[in-house]
Amino acid sequence: MLIVGLGNPGKDYESTRHNLGFMLIDKLAHDEGINVNRRECSALVGRGEIEGTRTQLVKPQTFMNLSGHAVACLLARIDSDAPIDQLVVISDDLALPLGRIRIRERGSAGGHNGLKSIIASIGTDEFIRLRIGITPEHPISDAKKFVLDNFSRSERPIVEETIELSAKAIRTIIRDGALKAMSEFN
């Protein structure tokens, strides 16, 4: 499996809403004892086993809008007749409330530039994605600024719970498939 968390590299972005994909990769890596530090295809990659399945945890280092280059390169290296079946992409989502997750087997980018880049680079939207909600209860005046802001102190416990839930969802996808995970976590 190729589990790709979307985010932006660097300390300035580390705790921003747009980096939930990286945060989940870090959680999975910590839990499974996988080091995500090997540079490959403009990404940081860690290899190990999750739920008895050989898995690569990936954090593209190209910045969000160019994530597709790293994903396409890594997919090309998978020894499989259908490498796209091995891909799971994790992203933040402004269409979902903070604390909610949604798993889909395919779909549009939904305005997310990282997903747009991946779809354009691999030529299909037929891949599993786990979307993590970031929308607060109050209106947002500037979406671009909002996604690049850090979580507030009051949001952090919700984010930690959501990352934990999302890690369980990824393990279910790996072990039992997307349909089972969708019925359990959506």
| β-sheet with 101-104: strand ranges across | 38-40, 43-50, 53-60, 2-5, 87-97, 128-135, 101-104
Cα(first)–Cα(last) distance of the chain, in Å?
21
Q: Among the options 18, 30, 69, 112, which is catalytic?
A: 18
Query: How far is Cα 12 from Cα 81, in angstroms, rounded to an integer?
Result: 39
- Secondary structure E strands in the chain: 2-5, 38-40, 43-50, 53-60, 87-97, 101-104, 128-135
Vertex 96: Cα angle to 115 and 142 (nearest 5) = 80
Q: What is the C-alpha separation between 1 and 31, in angstroms, rounded?
A: 17
Nearest to residue 68, comparing CAs of 118, 120, 18? Answer: 118
Would residue 138 show up in a list of annotated catalytic residues for this protein?
Answer: no
Active site residues: 18
